[in-house]
Amino acid sequence: MKAVTVLLPLLSLSTSFASPTGEQVVLSLGESGRFPSLSSSNAYHVVNEWLDDAKKSILKGKKNLEKWYHDGKEFIKQNELLYELVSHPSFEEHQLRVTEPDLCDTSVKQYSGYLDIAQDKHLFFWFFESRNSPSTDPLVLWLNGGPGCSSSTGLLFELGPCSIANEGKNTTFNKHSWTSSANVIFLDQPVNVGFSYGEDGTTVNNSPVAGKDVYAFLELFLARFPEYSKQPFHISGESYAGTYLPNIATAIWNGNKQLELAPTPSLKKINFESILIGNGLTDPYTQFGSVADYACDGPYPVYSDPQGAECSALRAKIPTCQNMLKRCYSSGSRLFCVPALLYCNSQLIGPLTQLGLNPYDVRKKCDRATDGDLCYKQMTWIDSWMNDPKVKVALGVDPTRNFASCNMEVNQAFLFQGDGAHNSAELLGELVDGGVRLLIYAGNADMMCNFVGNERWLDVLDSSFKNEFIAAKTIPWITAGSGTLAGSVRSAGGKGFTAGNVTFVTVFEAGHMVPYDQPEAALDMFSRWLSNSPLSLQ
């Protein structure tokens, strides 16, 4: 089924990453994978086929939802699957259901399962230990964008320990995985994204609420796995994560402040070190203002004449877009924010998506008949692999639950709250001034959240490093391993001896998904940032 006709110019490719724009098929149950949906009547047989013998033995004779203790841990049988159950007195409405899969990268310890919130919201996660030194390497949370897209895109297509292959029939080892340098959590949020789900129509439609849910997840995760609580913690993501992450960061920051005022022994102060955002949507006013400059004068111009009719038309529409966004910023009201999003996307991004190019990498053409609605056929491969009943059972997922990389209904729910029109950058100043480091990176071939706009909003970010960042020179970024010129970097703070407190990296020859286009360079940037080492030796 197609999205409502009036919204077609606005709801296309954005469902996978940042801002809404064009036509998108809404996937219904059973469409997204090569495996048909399963009824509850035969789910037992599927689980029984793929569950390992040890778990079968433990579950034998137990009733659904039955709980019991063993070796000081609580367990539960649910949907014919075995989970460890983790609760916390400070989060009475939250619990974790945890299992230990053996997929993707079997050389490291991994956990997956759900954060259950008030019995009606269930967020799916998949965690991988570092390949290097799990006991000392940082802990990193990764989110994909959308809103409405699963973190499995990052896991299986970009920076995870394995990469989707062979039309979704299997995966291959990713030697440039970010798990080479960190313990990484991939989280599907908000509810109804990926394997996450809500009961009885429960939805989340704004980033502040999503941020509070993620904070609760982190506290329960660290309570269960205190061995990861002493290392530095970083949050990272791309695209609409540019909106998510400032809100999540604020929830963590406020939680830490409350613990300082009223220490609670059972709660962990999160060692919040930094925020990493790739090709994000964070300050729409500034970023929409850059659309014509990128499309007409950028490194990969999509129009042949920067002074021609197409470029003039784009530039003429920017003042109206920015005036509408300014009103949204000042009021915070969806009555102003929703129209601003609709206008800016339809009038500025809409024309660019009709050019036959991949808007996430304008170096390439996009034939949606063969490449898919999102211009990457691998997205459908991910759906196929994740819908394999064997994979679901290993991950602790009810085999009757269907997986889709992106959920259009979640995308629309956020759109009609005007969530993506807010200035999330204004949340970052206090955090940066308090010592949380900020890395913004962007591939220079991405048209959806272009690098020009991402650098400009850092120029106007209100923090104690503002003047230093404005004065900072752009210098080359050379990878430490191969000595390749991978991009350029601007930085404030650290006086050249660290990676900086506010840092912007342009990644050459990369689109929206930097770790996919430049895996070696992305890992170099990530590893040096985590170790707080300069990205340039100049």
Q: Could you list the active site residues?
A: 239, 446, 512
Rounded-to-integer distance, Cα 381 and Cα 398, Å: 20
DSSP code of 475? E
Q: Is the Cβ–Cβ distance between 357 and 437 less than 8 Å?
A: no
Long-range contacts of 315-323 (CB under 8 A, 24+ apart): 317/347, 317/348, 318/288, 318/289, 318/291, 318/292, 318/348, 320/347, 321/288, 321/289, 321/347, 321/348, 322/285, 322/288, 322/289
Q: Which residues contact 116 (CB under 8 A, 6 or more apart)?
A: 94, 95, 96, 97, 122
Neighbours of 257 (CB within 10 A): 12
Q: Is the Cβ–Cβ distance between 359 and 353 less than 8 Å?
A: yes
Neighbours of 460 (CB within 10 A): 13
Report residue 81: phi and psi, to 5°: -110, 160
Rounded-to-integer distance, Cα 182 and Cα 166, Å: 28
Neighbours of 352 (CB within 10 A): 22
Q: Which CA distances in Å does 267 have to 196, 255, 258?
A: 25, 10, 11
Q: Enter the tokens of residue 204.
A: 């989340």
Give 308: exposed, middle or buried? Use CB within 10 Å, 0-12, 13-18, 19+.
exposed
Q: Which of 404, 411, 408 is nearest to 24 (CA)?
A: 408
DSSP code of 228? G
Beta bridge partners of 81: 78
Q: Enter the tokens of residue 62.
A: 């137990």
Which H or E element spans position 98? strand 94-99
Neighbours of 508 (CB within 10 A): 19
Neighbours of 168 (CB within 10 A): 22
